[in-house]
Chains A and B, each alone.
Chain A
């Protein structure tokens, strides 16, 4: 073992030394040369290089958390593209929502969440001084339970949550057994299905879905084949423009029974939050002021999301929106 190891390490260290020598000789492929010809290199670096290379040092290297849903991708990509045009070096990291990402922010591997639905789960990290709230991103979220539009037409009263028991048989399948199947949001999403079922004495069984994509597939199939489906969804989400869904509204319960009181009667409308590390906000980087000013509407987000879903890369879709909305982007930058 020793012999082999020594030999291998010898070779490797020899190479490393040689490599360092080459590095010391200076040169290398520098950024300006490569920006045009090297699309495969990190887009971050090439964009930075082509537009404002000199400012790179000013803005710095920052990490943006990426979450699973396409609306988030739209927001994060637009933010990234604009930041890179300011000379920032942005690394995107895909992570589960909330806790995991807050930990990543505390560890310093990620700096920004551009759209958080978490309803204050971050408080502990804010208290520790790792994270700061940066205000709303302009989007307003509304979560709910949805059925395909054809069901709302065929059974008009199904959109009233109180009537769901009447239709439970329609939603039975092999996963739910003798109850109706209630497709809940992915693990990281804010969900209160259990409470809704309990509060309204619904004869439904919660089926966990691993991802938002599973829900999209569920509703797509339900719309196409006219099969029943009851599942978790939310706005803003451009999917609703492609496959119309009807929201099932739950009654404001009479919480006279204190035991049943949960404080929630249905998902409320939520202004979506931007979060950032204290490190970023106190750095004086132009990225910090960009993030502070970043704000757009549900319609803006849906536009980019739709382009992404119809086959553009997120970078292309974001750039298309940026080019078409110079005034809004300029306002984010100018206000800083």
Chain B
């Protein structure tokens, strides 16, 4: 009796929830219709469109500020005693590393250590920290960079990356440990860490250049700003997620706080922290490539050049070298992480074998270093081995073939998306009076994510209006939304496939790995070749950049659905499709929401780069300001607008996810 009653209660509750959802859906549609209708009536009114060359009061203020900062560079104490010394220190630090592996040293035309020496040293270090297998892989990857004819560029990038990582860790690890131990420190750092996750990389190049000018120092500092938050985040997480038992035990045995930290917490967190080092390194590498825009030496240079002269082949060759270097650094550090966590007693003979191996490897490395200083073939990567140009022309030919023969496919797809979706959406966003759009977005925010999401949207969008770049922001927003939808459509399909089938996962894993390690910058070149200087090219970039992470998050979600649920559904006679749509996808709803959120943020980060390929919007303004001092204020304001837009998107997506979760648990 009581059971029946409770069942009835659950049923009516479900009905009510469904009704609510349906009603919410209807309301959202109504808001959209009203928005579109008002947009049609008031088309072109109060759109706040602003010619590129014109400033607003706000951007003028920023421009003046930038000019005065520039004007103060030589004399102001802030520069003389703060920024300039930092710049000098960072620069000399990086130059020191470069002098060993990439810059001609002294009267020699080669660096202190030639290619053979570098390969051998890295092989030895990787062997010492992980396994000989990984060591071979690392050396192979380095050699491939040389074979592509990118040796010196690769060494520059390596020097920049290692230098930036060392400096980042020097700051990030202590802060991370501190934030791991103290709630107050974490609370203080958290807003910065959260912002750093949203802020597209391109945005802080310009402000940094104001203070550190252009060159290795500015590029390194920009890289550090990108990678330090990652180091802090993972380190503090590593400390916080430690098993409490051993810590309590060590406390009970009378450890001081310092002893607890150095003898218990840090050693136990070592593995996660090492993972943080790996992440920091990968982030630094991808940023160093982009930092070519502000004068970083290395592989970013040929990428930028290829982008400018639209040479797909050269771009791909440089991009491949980035990938090889990334694989090398990633595998080497990952293998070290695995070894780090290996608390297994080694037998005496194994230890001796390893010692002997290490000794031999060290001797070999030293011989190679000496050779690379005295023998030309070991100093300068042999010309006969270099096949970069053939790779480049083959790739260019392939791209040419695709653009001419698959013209209808690439152009067709581009036109369908542009005319069918992008233009109407952009028109709705940017040709409707700003206040209509803000109210409509806030209402939708309220319906999806509740009052808080609406308030955030209202306030932050209002701030964007104040920057004077409302119209450009809407142009960018349209591209971001379209790219996110495409990424989610593809990401869910592929993610489900990967999550369900280990075989598909095996095939896709290298692709996803490469996709995630490849700096976004690198595929601008082929995308531009395929789609021309259009907004769609920016959308495609966003897609390629965000797809791996979305696929991964969705696949993880599907995989984490308890197998008992799937078994039960199978036992009930569901088809494969029914299992996917009725069990696996609904059960991994949280992952889907997380994927959408990640997708949005990733897409935003790259759509901005689309300014390089003719996508207009905020990204274009950011770039314009690099060259034209009179528009630098606008460029800075555009960076701010991107940040605000990112926070709006992030918070609305999160509020939506939270609300869904609450309803799920209610």
Asked if A187 and B124 sit within 8 Å, CB to CB, the answer is: no
The yes or no answer to B595 lying at the interface (CB within 8 A) is no
The yes or no answer to A212 lying at the interface (CB within 8 A) is yes
Report the nearest A residue to B265, measured CB to CB: A1
Bitwise interface map of A from 19 to 36 toward B, beta carbon under 8 Å scored 1, else 0 = 100110001111101110
The yes or no answer to B474 lying at the interface (CB within 8 A) is no
Selecting from A131-139, A203-211, A296-304, A324-332, the interface stretch reads A203-211
The yes or no answer to A312 lying at the interface (CB within 8 A) is no
Residues of A within 8 A of B301 (CB): 93-94
Residues of A within 8 A of B625 (CB): 99
Interface centre among B151, B292, B366, B414 (most CB of A within 10 A): B366
Residues of A88-109 at the interface with B, using a CB-CB cut-off of 8 Å, are 93-104, 106-109
A-B pairs under 8 A by CB, number: 249
The smallest C-beta distance from B272 to any residue of chain A, in angstroms, reads: 9
Supply 26 A–B pairs (Cβ within 8 Å), ascending by A: A2-B266, A3-B270, A4-B270, A8-B125, A19-B100, A22-B370, A23-B373, A27-B374, A29-B108, A34-B109, A40-B380, A40-B381, A41-B109, A99-B625, A100-B209, A100-B214, A107-B213, A109-B214, A124-B70, A128-B70, A128-B71, A129-B74, A174-B418, A188-B624, A207-B616, A214-B310
Count, chain A residues at interface, CB 8 A? 76
Asked if B214 and A8 sit within 8 Å, CB to CB, the answer is: no
**Given the interface contacts A103-B209, A213-B309, A214-B532, does A124 sit within 8 Å of B71 by beta carbon?**
yes
Residues of A within 8 A of B365 (CB): 15
**Given the interface contacts A27-B373, A188-B626, A211-B308, does A104 sit within 8 Å of B213 by beta carbon?**
yes
Asked if A107 and B376 sit within 8 Å, CB to CB, the answer is: no
- Compute how far the CA of A16 lies from the CA of B419 in the bound complex, rounded to whole angstroms: 60
- Compute how far the CA of A94 lies from the CA of B629 in the bound complex, rounded to whole angstroms: 19
The smallest C-beta distance from B78 to any residue of chain A, in angstroms, reads: 16
Asked if A175 and B125 sit within 8 Å, CB to CB, the answer is: no
Residues of chain A having any CB pair with chain B under 8 Å: 1-4, 7-8, 11-12, 15-16, 18-19, 22-23, 27-31, 33-35, 37-42, 45-46, 49, 66, 68, 70, 93-104, 106-110, 121, 124, 128-129, 174-175, 177, 183, 187-188, 192, 194-195, 198, 206-214, 217-218
Asked if A45 and B71 sit within 8 Å, CB to CB, the answer is: no
From the candidates A42, A194, A217, name the one contacting B532 in the complex (CB within 8 A): A217
The yes or no answer to B620 lying at the interface (CB within 8 A) is yes
Residues of B278-300 at the interface with A, using a CB-CB cut-off of 8 Å, are 292-295, 297
- Compute how far the CA of A295 lies from the CA of B114 in the bound complex, rounded to whole angstroms: 39
From the candidates B107, B125, B380, B627, name the one contacting A188 in the complex (CB within 8 A): B627
Residues of B11-63 at the interface with A, using a CB-CB cut-off of 8 Å, are 51-53
- Compute how far the CA of A75 lies from the CA of B605 in the bound complex, rounded to whole angstroms: 36
Asked if B374 and A1 sit within 8 Å, CB to CB, the answer is: no
Asked if B215 and A175 sit within 8 Å, CB to CB, the answer is: no
- Compute how far the CA of A8 lies from the CA of B162 in the bound complex, rounded to whole angstroms: 13
**Given the interface contacts A31-B107, A42-B152, does A37 sit within 8 Å of B376 by beta carbon?**
yes
- Compute how far the CA of A103 lies from the CA of B379 in the bound complex, rounded to whole angstroms: 35
Asked if B113 and A19 sit within 8 Å, CB to CB, the answer is: yes
Interface centre among B104, B212, B375, B528 (most CB of A within 10 A): B104
Report the nearest A residue to B112, measured CB to CB: A23
From the candidates B217, B309, B336, B627, name the one contacting A107 in the complex (CB within 8 A): B217
Asked if B104 and A108 sit within 8 Å, CB to CB, the answer is: no
Report the nearest B residue to A46, measured CB to CB: B109
From the candidates B104, B129, B630, name the one contacting A45 in the complex (CB within 8 A): B104
The yes or no answer to B262 lying at the interface (CB within 8 A) is yes
Bitwise interface map of B from 300 to 318 toward A, beta carbon under 8 Å scored 1, else 0 = 0100110111110000000
The yes or no answer to B399 lying at the interface (CB within 8 A) is no
Asked if A121 and B216 sit within 8 Å, CB to CB, the answer is: no
Report the nearest B residue to A37, measured CB to CB: B376
**Given the interface contacts A108-B215, A208-B620, does A34 sit within 8 Å of B71 by beta carbon?**
no
Q: Which 4 A-B pairs have the closest CB atoms?
A: A107-B213, A109-B215, A213-B310, A104-B214
**Given the interface contacts A40-B383, A45-B104, A209-B614, does A104 sit within 8 Å of B295 by beta carbon?**
yes
Asked if B71 and A107 sit within 8 Å, CB to CB, the answer is: no
Asked if B309 and A187 sit within 8 Å, CB to CB, the answer is: no
Asked if B627 and A211 sit within 8 Å, CB to CB, the answer is: no
Residues of B within 8 A of A106 (CB): 73, 213
Besides the contacts A187-B612, A187-B623, A210-B612, what 9 more A-B pairs have beta carbons closer than 8 Å? Answer: A1-B270, A41-B104, A94-B292, A94-B304, A102-B629, A103-B70, A107-B212, A175-B534, A213-B310
